[in-house]
Amino acid sequence: MNTKCIIALGNPGQEYKDTRHNVAQRVFSQLERYSVLSWETKHKLYAEICFWIPSGAKKKFMLIKPTVYMNESGKTVNNVCAYFGIGSDEILVIHDELDLAPGKAKIQFGGGTAGHNGVLNICKSLQNQKFKRIRIGIGHPRALGLHQSVSNFVLQRPSEDEGEAIGKVVKFCSNFLGEICQMTAIEANSYFQQGVKEWG
């Protein structure tokens, strides 16, 4: 596919590793169960970077974990794209999604931010919304019957039941990455641009 760069949003630091806001980076952790990923910190790019060759694929893909906080994600994406000469239509961003229940995920090309600060910052930095996305559901505190603010909710770990549901869709998403990386550019672009697809 024409995607060159796959970015999993999240906050840096061990204290955030298992929080709802960092579920996207669990997709990379899942990949590490089957592939050796050698990460290198690029301070000037505000990113951890590694190159991944999926099983059966003929080319390598760049995996990115921002080293800045979620609401500064655009700094990482903009620097990486500028340094490597990557266009917005050549990136795939994986992120958590409040508007989807745990165990659900959607893919799409372009569209709004749904209030996600990381995605909003990327759109501002790139000055467009034309990039591929995988949105992993974490649920909304109101929908889950929790009396807490969204800002606190996303920075906490999911419950055992939520975590199990999220774990299943994380595994599905990691498998999906392997599949789309073997598609031609035309096939992958068509798949994303046909419209929003929901899993789970």
Residue spans of alpha helices (H) in 41-184: 73-84, 117-126, 150-154, 160-180
Q: Please pick, among 21, 43, 95, 147, the residue that the annotation labels catalytic.
A: 21
**Sign of the C-alpha dihedral, residues 34, 138, 5, 133?**
positive
**180 half-sphere exposure, CB direction, 13 A CA radius:** 25
Q: Which residues contact 93 (CB under 8 A, 6 or more apart)?
A: 7, 9, 77, 119, 122, 131, 132, 133, 134
For residue 21, indicate whether it is catalytic: yes
Paired residues of 96 in beta bridges: 136
Residue 184 is encoded by which pair of tokens? 């031609």
Q: How far apart are CA 126 and CA 70, in angstroms?
A: 16
Can you state the angle between helices 160-180 and 23-31, rounded to 10 degrees?
Answer: 60
Beta bridge partners of 114: none
**Rounded to the nearest 5°, which phi and psi values hold at 161?**
-65, -45
Hey, which residues are catalytic here? 21
